[in-house]
Amino acid sequence: MAENLRLWLRLLSTTTMIEAELRRRLRAQFNTTLPRFDLLAALDRAPEGLTLGEVSARMMVTNGNVTGLATRLEAEGLVARRPDAQDRRAVRLRLTPAGARAFAQQSAAHAAWVRELFAGLSGAERAALHRLLGRAKQSLNGINQEEAA
């Protein structure tokens, strides 16, 4: 059924449009990018910092990706690498004070943008969409389990 295909294309284009708008605003107002913002956001929720592996799992990207991202953000003074106390293989990443300040500003703007972008939907519509996306994720997890089996 082409119905499934249309659903997927619409899901993809909706996400792409929102992402493009957020990227544009992050660049225009903060001269930063979505991956950088996402990395700061992950660290902001983790006062103890995160290992690079934990970051890459949360961001759903590869380890090598996080290595490069962290290196650039470190050069800008927004995050700091420090050896993990327990595991000498691991590197723990945390926000610097400057990084925390930058993220606080970006985060507030980002939340307002997202609210604005979904403003055309009623509360009930947003709730229904949230629920259905949850169902879609369940559907996906079913697939991945089968693959692993």
Q: Residue numbers of the site for DNA (CB under 7 A)?
A: 20, 23-24, 27, 33-36, 51-54, 56, 60-72, 81, 84, 87-92
Of 10 and 101, which CB lies nearer to its own copies in the complex structure? 10
- Which does residue 85 touch among DNA, its own copies, none (CB within 5 to 8 A, set by kind)? none
12 near its own copies (CB under 8 A): yes
d(CA 39, CA 26) in angstroms, rounded, equals 14
17 near its own copies (CB under 8 A): yes
With b for 16 or more beta-carbon neighbours within 10 A and e for fewer, the 107-118 pattern comes to eeebeebeeeee
**Helices and strands (DSSP H and E) totals, the chain:** 6, 3
CA distances from 75 to 71, 72, 95 (A): 6, 5, 13
Edge-to-edge strand list for the sheet holding 50-51: 50-51, 91-95, 79-83
d(CA 56, CA 61) in angstroms, rounded, equals 5
Binding to its own copies (CB under 8 A): which residues in 87-116?
A: 111, 114-116
129 near its own copies (CB under 8 A): yes
- Which does residue 139 touch among its own copies, DNA, none (CB within 5 to 8 A, set by kind)? its own copies
Of 101 and 137, which CB lies nearer to its own copies in the complex structure? 137
Amino acid (one-letter) located at 104: A
Of 48 and 147, which CB lies nearer to its own copies in the complex structure? 147
- Which does residue 48 touch among DNA, its own copies, none (CB within 5 to 8 A, set by kind)? none
Of 10 and 24, which CB lies nearer to DNA in the complex structure? 24
